[in-house]
Amino acid sequence: MTSGVRALLVVAALTGGFAPGAGAQPAPGVEFRLVAAGRVRPIFAAGVADTGIAVGAFRLAARPVTNAEFLRFVAANPAWRRTRAPRVAVDSSYLRHWSGDLTLGPNAPPAAPVVNVSWFAASAYAAWAQGRLPTTLEWELAASRFHRALGNDPERLNLRVLEWYGSATRAVLPDAGHGMASDDGVRDLHGLVWEWVEDFNAVVTSGESRGDSGPDAGLFCAGGAALAADPSNYAAFMRYALRGSLRGSYTLATLGFRVARDAEPGKGNR
């Protein structure tokens, strides 16, 4: 097929069913950084070797998606506007910090990270932006690399992250793109917002409303620390706990996302 037809097909296939052919081009603003391959040792370590799990190289947006960028997305895809998005895909606080369907307002500075977005909405945006959400392992790999900024001291990183987790939420978030840069040049991985990952529901917890104890149930009581790879890694515990508490339609005032791409087409981690 011609490249033009292919482009049309891509847009139609990725923007969701509500506005086929809207034809909006994704925002070019964000830079993608190559995150080099590495190994991740998940906090749930059962069945995983001490050396962790190999994660291939991938590309990750240098900062989270902003309000202004998400506004362009909903402008091009009316079905994802605040009043129209399907209730099975977003809860009632979807984009609640915006003033209107197409108005950001005082609580949503254009350059601040977009929050109050569901996993489904974030996934649709990522597809529209010709990418995807990072996997948990990809995100954790990218977020563990601060040797340059913090002198190769994982304890310093842990403390820094805890400081954010332990502070109260700000009503209006600061702009994205100014946080500490990782060794790969990715910013704001810690200290700005939580971020959606593609497989957030891989945390096999007792989190579901009427659930029972699962293999990761230890994440929710003290006894389970015995199952964890590093019980003193409070920051990782908290990220996994948060992911475990989520459902795909949930939107949170502190939860945003960023876009990932495969390092080369067809060579992904998924």
Partner 1 sequence: MTLRASRLRRGAGAAAIAAVLAAGAMPWRAAAQAAPLPARSLYRLKATWTSHTGRPVELPSLRGETVVLAMVYTSCTMTCPLITGEMQAVRRALPADVRPKVRFVLASFDPDRDSVAALRAHASKMSLDDRWLVLRAPAGDVRQLAVLLGVRYRKLPDGDFDHSNIISVLDAGGVLRHQSPRIPADRAALVRAVTAAARSPGS
Partner 2 sequence: MSGSTPRPTAWRRLPLLAALAAVPAYVACSPGGEGDPLADRPSGPLPVETLVVASAPAVPKPITRRSPAKLIVNLETHEVRKRLADGVEYTFWTFGGSVPGPMLRIRAGDEVEFHLNNHPSSKMPHNIDLHAVTGPGGGAASSFTAPGHSSVFSFAALNPGLYVYHCATAPVGMHIANGMYGLILVEPKDGLPKVDREFYVMQSEFYTTGRFGQAGLQPFSMEKALHEDPEYVVFNGSVGALVGDNALKARVGETLRLYVGNGGPNLVSSFHVIGEIFDHVYTEGGTVANQRNVQTTLVPAGGSAIVDMKLEVPGTFILVDHSIFRAFNKGALGMLKVEGADNKVVYSGKQNDLVYLPEGGAVQAVPENGAAPERELPREELIARGKQVFTANCTACHQLEAQGVPGAFPPLAGSDFLMANKERAIGVVMHGLTGEVTVLGKKYNGVMPMLQLTDGDIAAVLSYVRTNFGNKASDIVSLAEVRKVRAAAAAKPGAGVR
Q: What's the CA gap between 26 and 29, in Å, rounded?
A: 9
Q: Does 244 bind partner 2 (CB under 8 A)?
A: yes
Tokens of 137: 């392992």
Using the rule CB under 8 A, is 1 a contact of partner 1? Answer: yes
Contacting residue, 3, 51, 87, 151, with partner 1 by CB under 8 A: 87
Q: Contact with partner 1 (CB under 8 A): which of 13, 102, 159, 225? A: 13
11-31 b/e with 16+ CB inside 10 Å = b?
Answer: beebbbeeeeebeeebbeebe
Contact 204, 227 (CB under 8 A): no
Give the integer Cα–Cα distance in Å for 132 and 120: 11
SS3 of residue 154 by DSSP? helix
Q: Residues 95-134 vs partner 2: string with x where CB under 8 A?
A: ----------------------------------------
CA dihedral 207, 212, 218, 219 (to 10 degrees): 0
How far apart CA 254 and CA 194 sit, in angstroms, is 6
For residue 6, with 0-12 CB atoms within 10 Å meaning exposed, 13-18 middle and 19 or more buried, which class applies? exposed
Q: Which partner in partner 2, partner 1, none is near 152 (CB below 5 to 8 A by kind)?
A: none
Residues of span 238-257 touching partner 1 by CB under 8 A: 244, 247-248
Between 58 and 119, CB nearer to partner 2 = 119
Which listed residue (68, 204, 227, 229) binds partner 1 by CB under 8 A?
204
Q: How many residues bind partner 2 (CB under 8 A)?
A: 53
What would the two tokens of residue 45 be? 């370590």
Q: Is 69 helix (H, G, I), strand (E, B) or coil?
A: helix
Per-residue string for binding with partner 2, 220-239, x by CB under 8 A? xxxxxx-----xx-x--xx-
Residue ranges in 30-69 that form contacts with partner 2 under rule CB under 8 A: none
Tally the residues of the chain.
Answer: 270
235 binds partner 1 (CB under 8 A): no
Q: How far is the CB of 87 from partner 2 (least distance, A)?
A: 15
Q: Which of residues 141-180 bind partner 2 (CB under 8 A)?
A: 158-159, 162-169, 171
Contact yes or no for 189/197 (Cβ under 8 A): no
Q: Which residue has the tokens 């563990």?
A: 144
Cα 95 to Cα 173: distance, rounded to the nearest angstrom: 14
Binding footprint of partner 1 on the chain (CB under 8 A): 1, 5-6, 8-10, 12-18, 20-21, 47-48, 53, 79, 86-89, 119-120, 123-124, 127, 132, 198-199, 201-205, 207-212, 214-215, 244, 247-248, 266, 270
Binding footprint of partner 2 on the chain (CB under 8 A): 91, 93, 158-159, 162-169, 171, 194, 204-215, 217-225, 231-232, 234, 237-238, 240-242, 244-247, 250-255
